[in-house]
């Protein structure tokens, strides 16, 4: 029997609730899908395999009970368990849900351990029923199967006939195995034998309709094989068993091979890891390393292009990993027994045997990174996935193989935190960082609930006129104990946990609302523009365009006053979808700006296809401009040729301003003009500008030469 993860569907109209459940359930190994409405849920179930539904009762349009009733016309509670989520403690809802065929219910706010327990209870019942149905059919087949080994156990004499095939499966011949039933039991893996004995007894005592079990059994060559054992007792009329006969089927392949990629799966990998571990413990001159690889944007690809393409990408990646590890010259002097496995989802592991130093492993990790960075062509699409890689290297302080896996996993997370698409070797500090990170995640959730976030604004200035042309919204976290926390410290965790989606939605709303207030008060020509940063995850959200439209409608801000900032790295995993999304935003009149330009892929082949309005030159180039202005020059020329505006980021001195102006750069932002400030301070800045404009009717305002806001705020910002 090949096990696959159970797939759940969470139906809830509240995005935040959905995302929370998604993350937690995914962590527990469920394949989780989301639907935001009853209609969406019905459509999904219609065309996808779903094992269980978590269904919110209170939803606009079609409520949970209506959805439930429709589903029950097609699926029985045994076929599709449905757990209702009720907001109020109203017993009416619960009664009508149960009467309409709900399997169970939970109340909001959801207590996760409770819902998890109920999900598991429903699923195990479902599986038990399915297994029973399957096994009855299978038993009939097995009796015919020539490939299976057969046994026939006389309970009265305690002698067992083992068929020649049964013996051959384990590597033995005719008289090498006697008719003692212990010949079988003592070869069963110590972790399985008690269960097998208990299951046989249960059947002999008529507690089960037949016997069926999966267990490991020792082959003559010293390896364990996975077997499916089945059997049935023959009884006297009064029910007493006097004979039992059955079969064993070799299911090793299905047990240890990942069906999708054909690589060893977690079971086999852990087995090999255990052996390497034992060997290294015995032989001090041998060491080995474990590489843990996790794709950085697999979920984005899966969500935007669908699971089928996601699967194909995994297969292609598996093939490339194999080619890399096997062919690499730099590693050919190792033993040939490396194991490349797929642990599940987008996680791969590699066991490198016989390494002599960390350098060996680093070379392999580098080679993997560079091989993966070449585009994958899947179903006519070019995809650019990157992977974060964690490495742990055996040393004698390790107590168990699991510890090595855990540390490689921690190192992988650390690679993600340090910017993804890279590798890290485990060190002891990382464990502390992981704990800190988990704590940050918890605090972040609480911070969102308690609305601890605030938008700061940084002016964007027209260098020709000296006038403010807009603001960039930059999120800040008013942490209850740490004070103001800057985005670099929490955006990566928010991205990884999906919390960036509700957070980004809030930034968008509040920034547009604020800009609408400013525009009403300060009439400028052209009107002020608000720039909002979009994270990768948020950007590829399928309803992003819809979200922007709704926010603009609600805040009454003109579409052309909103500019969204995206980075290349947000688009590269799936450039085609990104281009499509950008066109949709463009058609609404929303402007698109490429942030931190020059630091990412700067893939020229894509640049001309992105429907952009402006490029933002990354701060790192501006800060070096007085020593070397070549890159800034090049970006300005590129911008001109593509008809794009160019904004210089991170301008800190008047020399830099002058140089940028000389080079023909039109717009800039940076501490020279103002650090990011809160909405009230930004309002004051606009009032000042009006004052300056009224005073000097010349049109060119050089008010920034001694910016009042800069010095005190830098001190505050520190």
Instruction: Indicate the residue among 237 and 488 with the shorter CB distance to ligand C2E.
Output: 488
Decide: is 487 part of the binding site for ligand C2E (CB under 6 A): yes
Q: How far apart are CA 660 and CA 643, in angstroms?
A: 18
* Least distance between Mg ion and beta carbon 518 (Å): 19
Instruction: State residue 354 phi and psi, 5-degree precision.
Output: 55, 50
Three state DSSP letters for 625-649: CCCCCHHHHHHHHHHHHHCCEEEEC
Among 160, 169, 676, 709, binds ligand C2E (CB under 6 A): 676
Instruction: State residue 258 phi and psi, 5-degree precision.
Output: -75, 120
Q: Which does 310 bind (CB under 5 to 8 A by kind): Mg ion, ligand C2E, none?
A: none
Q: How far apart are CA 62 and CA 466, in angstroms?
A: 54
Q: Residue number with the shortest CB distance to ligand C2E?
A: 670
Q: How far apart are CA 574 and CA 301, in angstroms?
A: 7
| Residues 405-464 interacting with ligand C2E (rule: CB under 6 A) | 458
Decide: is 613 part of the binding site for ligand C2E (CB under 6 A): no
Q: Which stretch binds ligand C2E (CB under 6 A): 79-87, 252-260, 361-369, 669-677?
A: 669-677
Among 265, 458, 533, 669, binds Mg ion (CB under 5 A): 533
Helices (H), ranges, 540-611: 544-555, 568-571, 575-587, 604-607
Secondary structure (DSSP) of 192-250: HHHHHHHHHHHHHTTSSSSEEEEEEEE-TTS-EEEEEEEEEEEE-TTS-EEEEEEEEEE
Three state DSSP letters for 288-306: CEEEEEEECCHHHHHHHHC
Among 122, 304, 535, 555, binds ligand C2E (CB under 6 A): 535
Q: Which long-range contacts (CB under 8 A, 24 or more apart) does 575-582 make?
A: 575/382, 575/384, 575/606, 575/609, 576/381, 576/382, 577/304, 577/305, 577/540, 578/539, 578/540, 578/610, 579/606, 579/609, 579/610, 579/611, 581/539, 581/540, 581/544, 581/545, 582/610, 582/611, 582/612
Q: Which does 487 bind (CB under 5 to 8 A by kind): Mg ion, ligand C2E, none?
A: ligand C2E
| Residues 505-534 interacting with ligand C2E (rule: CB under 6 A) | 507, 533-534
Decide: is 671 part of the binding site for ligand C2E (CB under 6 A): yes
| Residues 557-616 interacting with Mg ion (rule: CB under 5 A) | 565, 595-596
CA dihedral (428, 434, 437, 443) positive or negative: negative
Instruction: Indicate the residue among 321 and 460 with the shorter CB distance to ligand C2E.
Output: 460
| Residues 680-709 interacting with ligand C2E (rule: CB under 6 A) | none
Among 8, 340, 459, 491, binds ligand C2E (CB under 6 A): 491
DSSP 375: P
Q: How far apart are CA 639 and CA 664, in angstroms?
A: 11
Regarding beta strands 347-352 and 211-218, do their DSSP bridges make them parallel or antiparallel, or are they unpaired? unpaired
Q: Which does 290 bind (CB under 5 to 8 A by kind): ligand C2E, Mg ion, none?
A: none
Instruction: State residue 344 phi and psi, 5-degree precision.
Output: 145, 160
Residue pair 231/249 in contact by the 8 Å Cβ criterion:
no
Q: Which stretch binds Mg ion (CB under 5 A): 165-173, 265-273, 505-513, 526-534?
A: 526-534
Decide: is 565 part of the binding site for ligand C2E (CB under 6 A): yes
Cα 542 to chain centroid distance, Å, stands at 16
Q: How far apart are CA 641 and CA 260, in angstroms?
A: 46
Regarding beta strands 347-352 and 289-295, do their DSSP bridges make them parallel or antiparallel, or are they unpaired? antiparallel
Among 360, 496, 595, 629, binds ligand C2E (CB under 6 A): 595
Instruction: Indicate the residue among 300 and 350 with the shorter CB distance to ligand C2E.
Output: 300
Q: Which does 497 bind (CB under 5 to 8 A by kind): Mg ion, ligand C2E, none?
A: none
Q: Which stretch binds ligand C2E (CB under 6 A): 108-116, 190-198, 297-305, 663-671?
A: 663-671
The neighbouring-strand residues paired with 340 are: 350
* Least distance between ligand C2E and beta carbon 401 (Å): 39
Q: Which does 670 bind (CB under 5 to 8 A by kind): Mg ion, ligand C2E, none?
A: ligand C2E
Decide: is 568 part of the binding site for ligand C2E (CB under 6 A): no
* Least distance between ligand C2E and beta carbon 676 (Å): 5
Instruction: Indicate the residue among 403 and 652 with the shorter CB distance to ligand C2E.
Output: 652
Decide: is 331 part of the binding site for ligand C2E (CB under 6 A): no
Helices (H), ranges, 28-111: 38-47, 64-74, 91-99
Instruction: Give me the 456-475 binding string for ligand C2E, x by CB under 6 A, dash otherwise.
Output: --x---------------xx
* Least distance between ligand C2E and beta carbon 615 (Å): 12
Give residues in contact with Mg ion (CB under 5 A). Answer: 533, 565, 595-596, 649
Contact set with ligand C2E (CB under 6 A): 458, 474-475, 486-488, 491, 504, 507, 533-535, 565, 595-596, 619, 649-652, 669-671, 676
């Amino acid at each position: 029997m090949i096990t696959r993860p159970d797939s759940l569907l969470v139906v809830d109209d509240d995005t935040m609730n959905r995302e929370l459940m998604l993350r937690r359930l995914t962590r527990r190994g469920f394949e989780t899908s989301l639907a935001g409405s009853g209609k969406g849920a019905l459509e999904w179930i219609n065309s996808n395999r779903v094992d269980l539904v978590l269904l919110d009762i209170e939803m606009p349009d079609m409520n949970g009970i209506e959805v439930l009733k429709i589903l029950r016309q097609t699926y029985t509670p045994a076929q599709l368990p449905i757990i209702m989520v009720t907001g109020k403690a109203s017993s009416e809802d619960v009664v009508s849900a149960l009467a309409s065929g709900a399997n169970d219910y939970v109340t909001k706010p959801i207590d996760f351990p409770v819902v998890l327990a109920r999900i598991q209870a429903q699923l195990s019942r479902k599986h038990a029923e399915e297994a029973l149905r399957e096994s009855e059919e299978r038993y009939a087949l097995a009796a015919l199967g020539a490939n299976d080994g057969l046994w026939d156990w006389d309970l009265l004499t305690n002698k067992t006939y083992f068929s020649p095939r049964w013996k051959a499966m384990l590597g033995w011949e005719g008289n090498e195995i006697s008719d003692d039933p212990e010949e079988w039991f003592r070869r069963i893996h110590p972790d399985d034998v008690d269960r097998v004995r208990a299951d046989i007894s249960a059947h002999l005592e008529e507690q089960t309709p037949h016997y069926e079990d999966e267990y490991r059994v020792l082959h003559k060559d010293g390896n364990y094989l996975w077997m499916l054992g089945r059997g049935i007792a023959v009884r006297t009329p009064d029910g007493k068993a006097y004979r039992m006969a059955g079969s064993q089927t070799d299911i090793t392949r299905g047990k240890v091979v990942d069906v999708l990629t054909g690589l060893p799966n977690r079971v086999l990998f852990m087995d090999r890891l255990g052996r390497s571990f034992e060997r290294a413990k015995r032989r001090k001159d041998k060491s080995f390393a474990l590489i843990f690889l996790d794709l950085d944007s697999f979920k984005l690809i899966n969500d935007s292009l669908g699971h089928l393409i996601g699967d194909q990408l995994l297969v292609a990646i598996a093939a490339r990993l194999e080619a890399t590890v096997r062919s690499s010259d730099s590693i050919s002097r190792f033993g040939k027994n490396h194991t490349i496995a797929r642990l599940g989802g987008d996680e791969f592991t590699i066991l490198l045997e016989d390494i002599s130093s960390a350098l060996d492993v680093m070379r392999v990790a580098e080679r993997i990174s560079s091989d993966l960075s070449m585009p994958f062509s899947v179903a006519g699409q070019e995809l650019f996935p990157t992977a974060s890689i964690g490495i742990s290297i055996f040393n004698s302080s390790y107590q168990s193989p699991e510890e090595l896996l855990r540390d490689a996993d921690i190192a992988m997370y650390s690679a993600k935190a340090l910017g993804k698409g890279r590798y890290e070797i485990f060190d002891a500090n990382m464990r502390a960082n992981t704990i800190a990170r988990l704590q940050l995640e918890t605090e972040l959730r609480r911070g969102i609930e308690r609305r601890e976030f605030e938008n700061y604004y940084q002016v964007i200035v027209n260098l020709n006129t000296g006038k403010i042309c807009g603001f960039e919204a930059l999120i800040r976290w008013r942490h209850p104990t740490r004070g103001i926390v800057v985005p670099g410290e929490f955006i990566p965790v928010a991205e990884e946990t999906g919390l960036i989606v509700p957070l980004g939605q809030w930034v968008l709303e509040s920034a547009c609302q604020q800009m609408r207030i400013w525009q009403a008060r300060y009439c400028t020509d052209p009107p002020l523009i608000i720039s909002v940063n979009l994270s990768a995850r948020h950007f590829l959200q399928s309803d992003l365009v819809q979200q922007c439209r709704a926010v603009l409608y609600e805040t009454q801000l003109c579409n052309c006053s909103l500019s969204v900032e995206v980075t290349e790295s947000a688009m590269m995993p799936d450039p085609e979808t990104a281009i499509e999304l950008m066109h949709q935003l463009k058609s609404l009149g929303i402007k698109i700006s490429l942030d931190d330009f020059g630091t990412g892929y700067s893939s020229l082949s894509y640049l001309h296809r992105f429907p952009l309005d402006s490029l933002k030159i990354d701060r790192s180039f501006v800060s070096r401009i007085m020593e070397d202005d070549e890159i800034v020059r090049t970006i300005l020329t590129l911008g001109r040729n593509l008809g794009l505006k160019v904004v210089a980021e991170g301008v800190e001195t008047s020399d830099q301003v002058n140089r940028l102006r000389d080079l023909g750069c039109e717009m800039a932002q940076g501490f020279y003009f103002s650090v990011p400030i809160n909405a009230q301070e930004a309002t004051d800045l606009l009032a000042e500008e009006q004052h300056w404009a009224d005073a000097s009717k010349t049109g060119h305002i050089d008010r920034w030469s001694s910016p009042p806001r800069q010095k005190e705020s830098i001190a505050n910002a520190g």
